[in-house]
Structure 1
C-alpha cells in the first residue's frame, strides 16, 4: 500500500466513479495504482480535454469532476479548464503529478510551479510533501470543492509521496460538507417589504439557482408571485423556456422583451446572479429605476457591482421558500392592478418580439435548425462551444432544466464543447448528449473525436460552419468599419472526412429543405455522429446590445420596422470601444 494506491481507494470512498486524464512520468505511480481498480479512467487525447471533460461531467451531474495529468506541460495544459471551472463555480478536484520533493526547486525535468501558477484560479491548492498528509488533504479538497459556492481544488502530488509507504494510513473517510447558512430574518423582512411595494417587479435568475439546488423552489416562487422573469446565460432552464412568465435571456444577446422589462422595472429580485457585464450592458444605466433585492449564497457578490437595497445572504432554496407565501399574499393585494397591467405588458412584448424562423432563401438558418433540434431531442444535454452558435443555442434551444445546458459562460473558452459533451455522456450513458460547435472552436479540441470513438460514446455533434470566426467577424463588421482581420477560415478541412478518419459517422447538409431529414438521420445513428452544416458567413446574432450602451439600445435589423430603441447618431456603435 503506497501513497498512490491509498489515493485510488480514497477517491472511491469520495464517490468518484469516473476520472479523466493523460499519464506521464511524474504521475506514473498513480496510473500504476489505477490498474485493476474499480475507478473508470477515460483517456483523453490532450490534457485540456481532460479538464473540460471533468468540467462537463460535474456540470451535468452536480457531482465533483476529477481530472489527472502529469507535471510540467501536463499540468499547464489543464489551466484553461481549471479557470473555466473557477469562473463558472464548477466543483472539480484536479490531481497533478510533481517531481520528487528533493528535486523541487532545481529546475528538474518537467518541473513546474503549478501550485503558484493556478493559485488565482482555484478555491484552494495543496502541495503534499509527506504521505501522512494524504488523508487530510484529500478530505479537505473534496469538502472545499463541494461546499458553499463550488469550485476547483488542486492537489499537486510529488512522485516520492506517491510511492511512499502508506500501509499505516487509516481508511479514508470523507469530510462533511459545510452547512449552508440560513438567511437572516431581518433580510427576509426587508426583501418582503420591497417586493410588496413594487408595481413593476422582475425576477432576474442566474446560475446560483442550480448550484443551490433551488430550481423547484425558484419555480414555485415565480408561479406563486406571477412576477415576469428573465434569466442569465447560466440561468437558462431554471424556468422552462415555454413558461408563460419566462421573458428569456437578458443582456448583450438577450431578448428584447427581457431587456425592456429589466430597464423599465421598479424592482429587480436577483436570485443567484452577479450582475455580469454581458448581462447588464452599461452598468451605470442598467435598470435605472429599480431597487434591488439580491439573494446569493456568496456574500462577496452582494453589493459588488450594484447596491442591494435588501441583501439576503444564505441558502437560496430556503430564502425562496420563506418568501413565497408572504410575497404571493402581498402581491395579490396592494398594487395588484398595477402589477397585472405590468405582467400583461411583458407578455405582449414576448409575443410582439418573438423570434421568427421563416428566413427566406435556400441556405440553412441556424436559429431554425437549433429550435427544431431541441424539439426533436427535448431532453438532450447540450454542450456548446463559444461564439455565434453559443448565443443561438441560448436564444433558440428550449431548455427544461439548467443542467441540460453546458456552456463556458464567464471564461468563454473555445474548445469547451466536445470534451464537455464527453464528460456529460460519461456521467450517464443513457443520456442524449448533443455538442453544438463552430468551425473555429471545433478544431481546438478535434482530437477528442478519438475519445468518442474509443469509448463508443453516442454524442451527436452539430458543426455550424461559416468558414469564419463568426463572432469576431460580426464585431469587426459592426464596430471596426468592416476591417476584417484574421477571421477567414475558408481553408477549413473537410470535416466529414476528418470525422470518418476518426471512425465517426458524418453527414453534410447545406440546404434548408434537406435539414429535417439530416436531423432525423443524425439522431438515428446509434453511436457517435457528426452533422456538418454549411451556413451563411454573413449571418449575425441578433439582437445585440453594442458595447458601452444600455440594454434598451438593442441593434436588431431583422426585427419588424417600427419600434426603435437603437443608439442615436451621437451614440454610433462604431465609435464604441469593445469590452
Structure 2
C-alpha cells in the first residue's frame, strides 16, 4: 500500500480538495476553499498547510469568526448546498465566536464545516493562552460548546483518526436530510503531527446525492386522503428550492387548482404574480394566505419544518377536520403536525402525487374567481403600503416599495432579523427562484451583511443586496471589509429606525410602555434611556472602511441612490432613514409570547389574559 507522509492539517486539506458531489448526473467540486482567521491554535497547522500546499482550495481571510462562518453558510445556501467553504479559527474565543453560526446552519439545514483549533492533546504546556480548564473534567475544552449545535462533532487527538472523522464529516455534509454544522476539533499539536497516510485516502471521491423516491403505498395513501378534501393549501418550504422542485411545484398546483402559501425559506418558489401564489403564511403572512389557512381541510407541507411563525403558534389552521400531508426528505420533519409522512425528495414526491391524483380525476373545490379575488385584495394592500406617504418621513414599507421597483428581477436580497423579515415575507415581490435569501430559522441578527457577501461570492452573476436594520448592522458587519478585499460587490440597504424597533413593538403589544430597545441617550431626569435619539452616521462609517455610501431621507433620494449604487464598482451602503414603527403587522395571525400573570401594570395583566385565551384555542399537537 502506497503512503504519503503528511501533517494531519496537510492531509485534511488534500482530502477536502478531492471531494465532489453528483446530483442528477452533474458533478460539482464540493469544497471551494477555506475561510479563516489565524491564531496560535491554527496558524502553524492549517495555516502552514494553506500557505504551502493548498491545492486548488481558495483562502479567504475573515474579519470576525462568526461573520465568516455566516458568509460560508450563505455561500452554501445560495449554491443550493452543492458547494461549501470550510472555516478555521484558533482556540478559545476565536472558536467560540463560531458557535452561533453553527446553530444557525444546523437549524436551517445548511452544510457548514468548522475546523476550530483546540487544546494541546499532549497537555505538556497546559494551560496555554486562551485554554479553558474544567476542574472536574480535563477533557472538556471550549470546542465542546459546539456539540449541541452540530450535526456531527469529533475531536482528532491522533493524526490517523482524521481518516474516519473526515469520511463521517462528508457523510453528514452531503446528506440532504442530516446536514448542518459539522465540527472537527483540531488540537494544535496534532495538526502538526506527521503520519503515513494511504494514498487511497486522497483519491477523488464523488458523493452521489440520489433523489429519494416516495414509497408507492405512501403516495396512494396521500392521494386517497387528498381525494376527499375540497380546500387544500400547499405550504412551500425551503426544501422546494433545495430539491430544485419549483417547476414540479407549479405543474402540481396548476393541475388541481391548489393555492400556495410560502414560508420564509420557500418564498420565490413561485413568482409572486402566479395566480395560485397567495404569499407568505403565518405570523408574517399575507391576508390571503392566512384566510385560506383558516379554512383549509388539508395542508400539503413541502420541505417545511413547520416553525411557530409558519403555523402561527399552531393557531393558523382552524378547520375541525384539517389533516396534514408532509413531503420532506427528513423523517424528523415529515411527522410533524401529526401528519401523513411522505419521506422523499420533494421533486420526486410532487411528480408521483400529481400522477396519482390525475388518475383519480381530482380537483380542488376552489373556483378561479374565489382565489383571484383573494389575491387581488392582497395585491391592492401591498400597492397601498408600497406607495403611501407618511407625514413624519419615509416609512419602512414605502422604502421597500421603491427598492422592489428599482431592483432587477435577478437581484438577490438577503435578510434575517428584526421587522424587515416580516415586511419582506408579506410584501416582497420576487419573480425568479433563489432571489429571496432569508435566514429565518434562527433569525440571527448580524447574518445579513456576512450573508450578502457569501451569496455574492456564490452567485457572481447577480446583484446582491443585504436588507438590514441598524440593530443587526451594529451587531456584525465585519465582512463588508472582506467583500472589499475580495472585490466581491454587494450593496447594503441599512434601514435606520433608531433601535431594536421590532422588539420595541412586541413589548408595547404585550403591555409594556417600551423599555430598553431604542437607541436613545440616557435621560438624567429619570435615569432611563429616554433621551433623544442617537444620531449615528452609518454612511460615514462605511466610507471609512472603503465602501461607497449614501444617506437618504425620501423616496426620491432612495430611488436615485439605488441607481447610483448599481453603477458603483465596489460594495456600497445606502443608509435609509425611516420612521420608527412603520412596519406591517397582524393580518389574522397570532404569535405566542408568554406574559406574566402578575404585574404592577394592568396593561400587562390584560395582555396575559389575551395570551391565555389565544393559547387555549391553539392546537396542542
Compute the TM-score of the two structures, normalised by the length of structure 2.
Answer: 0.84
Moved more, 475-484 or 460-469: 475-484
| Residue number among 318, 321, 330 corresponding to 1:298 in the alignment | 330
SS of aligned partner of 2:475: coil
Find out whether 1:35 has 2:35 as its counterpart: no
Q: Which runs of 5+ in 2 are unaligned?
A: 1-5, 20-28, 133-140, 521-532, 594-604, 616-621
- 1:128: Cα distance to partner? 0.7
Which residue is equivalent to 2:611?
A: 576
Structure 1: how far apart are the matches of 2:192 and 2:125?
20
SS of aligned partner of 2:366: helix
| Residue number among 515, 520, 525 corresponding to 2:563 in the alignment | 520
Structure 2: how far apart are the matches of 1:261 and 1:267?
11
Moved more, 484-493 or 256-265: 484-493
| Residue number among 476, 484, 504 corresponding to 1:473 in the alignment | 504
Which residue is equivalent to 1:5?
A: 10
1:53–1:420: 8 Å Cα contact kept in structure 2?
yes
Aligned CA distance change for structure 1 residues 205 and 105 (closer, same or farther; 3 Å): farther
| Residue number among 335, 345, 353 corresponding to 2:370 in the alignment | 345
Structure 2: how far apart are the matches of 1:104 and 1:472?
49
Find out whether 1:543 has 2:586 as its counterpart: yes
Find out whether 1:160 has 2:192 as its counterpart: no
How many correspondences in the alignment? 552
Structure 1: how far apart are the matches of 2:610 and 2:513?
13
Which residue is equivalent to 2:525?
A: none
Map 1:433-512; keep pairs closer than 5 Å.
Answer: 433-489=464-520, 490-512=533-555
Which residue is equivalent to 2:26?
A: none
Structure 2: how far apart are the matches of 1:299 and 1:233?
21
Map 1:17-56; keep pairs closer than 5 Å.
Answer: 17-28=32-43, 29-36=45-52, 37=54, 38-56=56-74
1:132–1:169: 8 Å Cα contact kept in structure 2?
no
Moved more, 248-257 or 113-122: 113-122
- 1:65: Cα distance to partner? 3.6
Moved more, 313-322 or 45-54: 313-322
Once the two structures are superposed, residues 155-210 of structure 1 have per-residue CA deviations (whole angstroms, 9 ceiling, x without a partner) of 11112222122444322443635655432111100111122222111111111222
SS of aligned partner of 1:101: coil
Once the two structures are superposed, residues 12-67 of structure 1 have per-residue CA deviations (whole angstroms, 9 ceiling, x without a partner) of 11232232221111111211111153322111211011110111101111223421
- 1:263: Cα distance to partner? 0.7
Once the two structures are superposed, residues 268-296 of structure 1 have per-residue CA deviations (whole angstroms, 9 ceiling, x without a partner) of 11111122111112425634332211111
Which residue is equivalent to 1:103?
A: 123
SS of aligned partner of 2:332: coil
- 1:447: Cα distance to partner? 2.8
SS of aligned partner of 2:131: coil
Q: Which runs of 5+ in 1 are unaligned?
A: 550-569
1:83–1:121: 8 Å Cα contact kept in structure 2?
yes
SS of aligned partner of 1:327: helix
2:503–2:517: 8 Å Cα contact kept in structure 1?
no
Structure 1 vs Structure 2 CA RMSD:
2.5
Aligned CA distance change for structure 1 residues 397 and 294 (closer, same or farther; 3 Å): same
SS of aligned partner of 1:17: strand
2:39–2:89: 8 Å Cα contact kept in structure 1?
yes
Once the two structures are superposed, residues 508-544 of structure 1 have per-residue CA deviations (whole angstroms, 9 ceiling, x without a partner) of 1101233321221122212111111000013132235
Which residue is equivalent to 2:232?
A: 201
Aligned CA distance change for structure 1 residues 428 and 349 (closer, same or farther; 3 Å): closer
Map 1:223-372; keep pairs closer than 5 Å.
Answer: 223-283=254-314, 286-289=317-320, 290-304=322-336, 306-308=337-339, 310-328=340-358, 330=360, 338-340=365-367, 343-354=368-379, 355=382, 356=384, 357-361=386-390, 363-372=393-402
Aligned CA distance change for structure 1 residues 324 and 372 (closer, same or farther; 3 Å): farther
Structure 1: how far apart are the matches of 2:445 and 2:68?
15
2:308–2:591: 8 Å Cα contact kept in structure 1?
no
Structure 2: how far apart are the matches of 1:571 and 1:199?
39
Compute the TM-score of the two structures, normalised by the length of structure 1.
Answer: 0.89
Which residue is equivalent to 1:81?
A: 101
- 1:486: Cα distance to partner? 3.4
1:127–1:157: 8 Å Cα contact kept in structure 2?
yes
SS of aligned partner of 1:27: coil
Moved more, 101-110 or 139-148: 101-110
Moved more, 521-530 or 499-508: 521-530
SS of aligned partner of 1:198: coil
Which residue is equivalent to 1:533?
A: 576
Structure 1: how far apart are the matches of 2:397 and 2:358?
37
- 1:141: Cα distance to partner? 0.8
Aligned CA distance change for structure 1 residues 347 and 389 (closer, same or farther; 3 Å): same
Moved more, 281-290 or 424-433: 281-290
2:309–2:591: 8 Å Cα contact kept in structure 1?
no
Structure 2: how far apart are the matches of 1:128 and 1:221?
48
